[in-house]
Amino acid sequence: MRRTRTLAGIGIAAVALLALTACNSGSPSDPGAGTGGGDEGGEESTWFEVATDVDLEGSPTFDKMKEDDKVVIGVKEDQPGLGYLDVTTNERTGFDIDIARWIAASLGFDEDKIEFKPIASANREQAIVNGDVDYYVGTYSINDKRKEQIAFAGPYFITGQGLLVAADNEDIKSEADLSADTTVCSATGSTPIQNIRTNFPEVPTKEFDLYSACVEALLSGEVQAVTTDQAILIGYAAQDPDNLKVVGEPFTEERYGVGLAKDDAALQEFINKMFTDGGDIWQAIFDKNLGSSGIEVSQPTVD
Ligand code: GLU
């Protein structure tokens, strides 16, 4: 029989309280305030209660983490509000980063035992299959094609594909305005670029590894729109509201999951139980990172 121990009873209350305290001082425009230090040189501890005596039988990933005495987490680092690295302070912030930290803490790993690894959209499945990361938390939509290679825990967040355009663009108000005259940029290997190719075949596309490169191309006039999940686009618009705006309504459903090795049902079950039992913590993570973003979502039920 599998025995798992995670944050329970008083532990959960303590975590939620710590998270809510952090919520008062942290905001997307004030990245990192109230959080633990980054993986590179942070001096504080994580604001999550670190579980002790975790026993997760049947998880090859957890066995490896214990053996290595560290957890390697694949993330994004150019997505403000979700997965962001401030290169001046070396601090990582965002909803996904805190979800990643929560999982690590629940498995018994403090901030100084976390190695964050930036992995672009196109390289996620391979990184998981190769064992380069123990798990991946970075705007990663659950879909059947990806499930052929990896497994997902979750969903832990739901958003949808949207459009980012120049603040003075009056021509593109929604996806209905995309045409042969509008070049749309997105990340290689992402679901949004695939959707444009399949359902808007007349629309020219440009792709880069990173969404931040698409935003640069938009600011320079090389492309007319950036498309990806609205939650990501809202973060870019908030950083540069004089030049960028999000238009239209989400036109797909993107359900974010934690990417895991396909054979690790024990870890999948552990994380799903965390999400199911940890509604207060989820809410505190949301409020801290996205509470002032205008995004209105509640925690989804896990599959
Ligand atoms: N959620 C979409 C995906 O998983 C777009 C965002 C991303 O590329 O991370 O492809």
* 33 belongs to a structural domain: no
- 3 state DSSP class of 18: helix
Query: Residues 33, 26: contact at Cβ < 8 Å?
Result: yes
Cβ of 116 below 6 Å from ligand 1 = no
Q: Does 46 map to a domain?
A: no
Structure token pair of residue 260: 């895991």
* 108 and 66 assigned to the same domain: yes
| 37 in any annotated domain | no
Atom of ligand 1 at shortest distance to CA of 139? Answer: 9
Decide: pTM greater than 0.95.
no
Question: d(Cα 289, Cα 161) in Å, to the nearest integer?
Answer: 20
Q: In the predicted model, what is the mean pLDDT of residues 25-51?
A: 48
Residue 67 lies in a domain: yes
- Does ligand 1 lie within 6 Å of residue 186's CB atom? no
The domain containing residue 15 runs over which residues? 7-23+55-159+253-293
The rounded Cα 70 to chain-centroid distance in angstroms is 20
Measured by CA distance, the residue closest to atom 9 of ligand 1 is 139
Looking from the CA of residue 140, the nearest atom of ligand 1 is: 4
Asked whether residue 209 falls in the same domain as residue 274, the answer is: no
User: Is residue 147, in this structure, part of any structural domain at all?
Assistant: yes
Q: Are residues 64 and 192 in the same domain?
A: no
Q: State residue 296's pLDDT score.
A: 87
With a pLDDT cut of 90, the percent of the chain lying above it is: 82
Q: 121 in ligand 1 pocket by Cβ < 6 Å? A: yes
In whole angstroms, give the CA distance from residue 106 to residue 75. Answer: 18
192-197-199 Cα angle (round to 5): 90
**SS3 state at 40:** coil
d(CA 267, ligand 1 centre) in Å: 22
Q: Judge if 182 and 99 occupy the same domain.
A: no
Q: Is 191 in the pocket of ligand 1 (CB under 6 A)?
A: yes
pLDDT at 31: 33
18, part of any domain: yes
Looking at the fold, whether 112 and 235 belong to one and the same domain comes out as no
pLDDT in tens, 105-135: 999 999 999 999 999 999 999 999 999 999 9
Confidence bin at 46 (pLDDT 50/70/90): low
200 and 285 fall within a common domain: no
Same domain, yes or no, for 90 and 225? Answer: no
Confidence of residue 32 (pLDDT cuts 50, 70, 90): very low
Clarify whether residues 228 and 85 are in a common domain: no
3-state class (DSSP) for residue 84: strand
Q: How many domains does the chain have?
A: 2
Whether residue 197 sits in one domain with residue 60: no
Say if residue 93 is in the same domain as residue 168.
Answer: no
CA distance 182 to 168: 15
